């Protein structure tokens, strides 16, 4: 499947914006969370960016609260 240059440009822009937002947050002593982390490639990128926390299917699928809360 071919990827258009416009798509690549948008992805690169989104990545750069995410890096800037993360850096600003850290300068303000705010921790950051990446959502929708869906595969190991994204985990590697997020880790390299220095984002503090991740959530998404690459890390675990949602489960009902009654399976994790004590009864």
Q: What is the mean pLDDT of residues 19-39?
A: 97
pLDDT tens sequence across 41-63: 999 999 999 999 999 999 999 88
- Sole residue written with tokens 């869906």: 38
Q: Tell me which of 17-26, 45-54, 62-71 is least confident.
A: 62-71
pLDDT at 14: 92
pTM: 0.75
Which residues lie closer than 8 Å to 31 by C-beta, 6 or more apart?
A: 25, 52, 53
Query: What DSSP string runs through 30-45?
Result: ---EE----SHHHHHH
If you ran DSSP here, which 8-state letter would residue 69 be given?
S
């Amino acid at each position: 499947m071919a990827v258009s240059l416009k798509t690549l440009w948008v992805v690169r822009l989104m990545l750069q914006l995410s890096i800037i937002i993360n850096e600003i947050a850290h300068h303000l002593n705010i921790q950051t969370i990446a959502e929708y982390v869906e595969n190991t490639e994204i985990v590697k990128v997020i880790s390299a960016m220095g984002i503090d926390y991740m959530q998404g299917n690459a890390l675990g699928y949602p489960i009902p609260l009654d399976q994790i809360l004590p009864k």
